[in-house]
Chains A and B, each alone.
Chain A
Amino acid sequence: DAGVIQSPRHEVTEMGQEVTLRCKPISGHNSLFWYRQTMMRGLELLIYFNNNVPIDDSGMPEDRFSAKMPNASFSTLKIQPSEPRDSAVYFCASSLGGTLSYEQYFGPGTRLTVT
């Protein structure tokens, strides 16, 4: 089975530009999570969806960040405008959900560098 797919794997952009990160969860999973990882702050949950509906976006740092999940097989995380402090590795994860199936499966991540 294909795991969680993220694109692009690497993104280098200039400050002020719009960045869009993409994620395809594991087929059949009904929960999707966006995380950010940095050396300074560790692993942070940004937002998560259940059945395509955003449940908790309290981790989204600023209004510059937005996330959508238009269907069960696709999600985007957008940063507009980007800033150097947004440089991090962004992970998408999905989970089957339901009793006894709470473990999350992570994608390979997108390494974002904002210059």
Chain B
Amino acid sequence: AQSVAQPEDQVNVAEGNPLTVKCTYSVSGNPYLFWYVQYPNRGLQFLLKYITGDNLVKGSYGFEAEFNKSQTSFHLKKPSALVSDSALYFCAVRDQRSSSASKIIFGSGTRLSIRP
């Protein structure tokens, strides 16, 4: 079965410190992976994606994610957290069974809280 797992419901980080939001995936074949962010009372916003190529992917707002095939992980990272990064973060993987459309399977979400 294809899935993504976000093992942490909440991550707390002090402003200025590095942050990591964890994600692991399970797919057959090569994965297409995504990170989304949701601010309060807003829709999900696309942050970055991995399809192929360099294992370190850079995205919006200074975020990056590292694809690790051996560990089947795609952790989201940022070198220095801002209070404004506080939001709900979703990892997602393309459902490879849906050949005709771009169906995505979302994780359960991780709430990131940055304290001043």
A binds B: yes
* Cβ-defined partner of A95 (8 Å) among B43, B102, B106, B109: B102
State the B residues within 8 Å of A (CB): 32, 34, 36, 42-46, 49, 51, 90, 94, 98, 100-104, 106, 108-109
Tally chain A residues at the interface, Cβ within 8 Å.
26
Any chain B CB within 8 A of the CB of A101? yes
- The secondary-structure label for the interface of chain A is strand
Q: Which B-chain residue is minimally distant from A104 (CB atoms)?
A: B104
Q: Which B-chain residue is minimally distant from A109 (CB atoms)?
A: B43
State the A residues within 8 Å of B (CB): 4, 31, 33, 42-43, 45, 48-50, 55-56, 91, 93, 95-97, 100-109
Top-3 shortest CB links A-B: A106-B43, A102-B102, A50-B101
Instruction: Please name 11 further chain A to chain B contacts, defined as beta carbons within 8 Å, in addition to the given A95-B102, A96-B102, A103-B46, sorted by A numbering.
Output: A33-B103, A43-B90, A48-B101, A49-B101, A56-B103, A91-B44, A93-B44, A97-B101, A102-B102, A106-B45, A107-B43
Q: Tell me the bound Cα distance from A70 to B48 in angstroms.
A: 31
CB distance from A49 to the nearest CB of B (A): 8
**Which residues in A have their C-beta under 8 angstroms from that of B103?**
33, 45, 48, 55-56
Inter-subunit contact A43/B43 (CB<8 Å): no
Inter-subunit contact A106/B44 (CB<8 Å): yes
Q: Tell me the bound Cα distance from A49 to B106 in angstroms.
A: 18
Q: Tell me the bound Cα distance from A95 to B34 in angstroms.
A: 13
**Which residues in B have their C-beta under 8 angstroms from that of A91?**
43-44
**Which residues in A have their C-beta under 8 angstroms from that of B44?**
43, 91, 93, 104, 106
**Which residues in B have their C-beta under 8 angstroms from that of A97?**
101-102
**Which residues in B have their C-beta under 8 angstroms from that of A101?**
102
